[in-house]
A and B are shown apart, each in its own frame.
Chain A
């Protein structure tokens, strides 16, 4: 049962253009969402997050949008750079689980390729 889904295994964009990565979730209890970037032979690196009380969070070139009614979030990268080429994982959690039990549920990832 895939609770977090990234339906596009790959995405290719031109340098300078916008990259939009999408993520859907099925568990309405999730209240905190994160995006991680992963290069080969490295662990995932935290990129940006959003709480369910917000619908947008911005950090430099990266913006995450959350549509709770559609159970959908997206990551926008503007402008895209060749160094952004990596696998992007969407993750979700229940932040109010108590203690430090913050299990992350990940999607399968989307491979972004930014062409020069």
Chain B
């Protein structure tokens, strides 16, 4: 059974740029959630996708957007990057219940 994978592992961008982060769900999982973990904080919910539809959103501005594909993999897009967007971005997948399986994360640094 393949776990949740994320790419890239690390990324450096400058303010104002755009970034796309990718996530492959665990096999058979139809729900994907994205979380932002800033340094010294717990993960913060960004949004969730269920069967390719956004199914819930946290307190993040519209420049954070996402997609879920028919194979249930997902993308997180962030436009107009700000310094405060520097964080670990975690993807988690599940099969319609709360036992989410997290990927290793993408470390984004905005300079």
Contact = CB atoms under 8 A, between A and B. Distances in A.
Interface of A: 4, 6, 32, 34, 36, 41-46, 49, 89, 91, 93, 95, 97, 99-109
Consensus secondary structure, chain A interface: loop
B97 A43 contact: no
A100 B103 contact: no
A75 B56 CA distance: 29
B86 interface: no
Contact of A108 (B41, B56, B94, B103): B41
Chain B, interface residues (CB within 8 Å), range: 20 to 34
Given A99-B50, A99-B55, A100-B31, A46 B42 contact: no
A49 B33 CA distance: 19
Contacts of B24: none
Given A4-B42, A89-B42, A99-B55, A104 B102 contact: no
Contacts, number: 71
Contacts of B45: 103-105
B48 interface: yes
Interface of B: 4, 30-31, 33, 35, 40-45, 48, 50, 55-56, 58, 90, 92, 94, 96-105
Contacts of A104: 33, 35, 43, 45, 98, 100
Given A46-B100, A93-B98, A100 B105 contact: no
Given A101-B48, A103-B33, A103-B58, A43 B90 contact: yes
23 contacts: A4-B42, A32-B98, A34-B98, A36-B102, A42-B104, A43-B103, A43-B104, A43-B105, A46-B101, A95-B98, A101-B50, A102-B31, A102-B94, A102-B98, A103-B45, A103-B48, A103-B56, A104-B33, A104-B43, A104-B98, A104-B100, A106-B44, A108-B42
A44 B98 contact: no
A35 B68 CA distance: 27
Nearest to B3: A43
Contact of A44 (B41, B43, B56, B96): B43
A97 B41 CA distance: 25
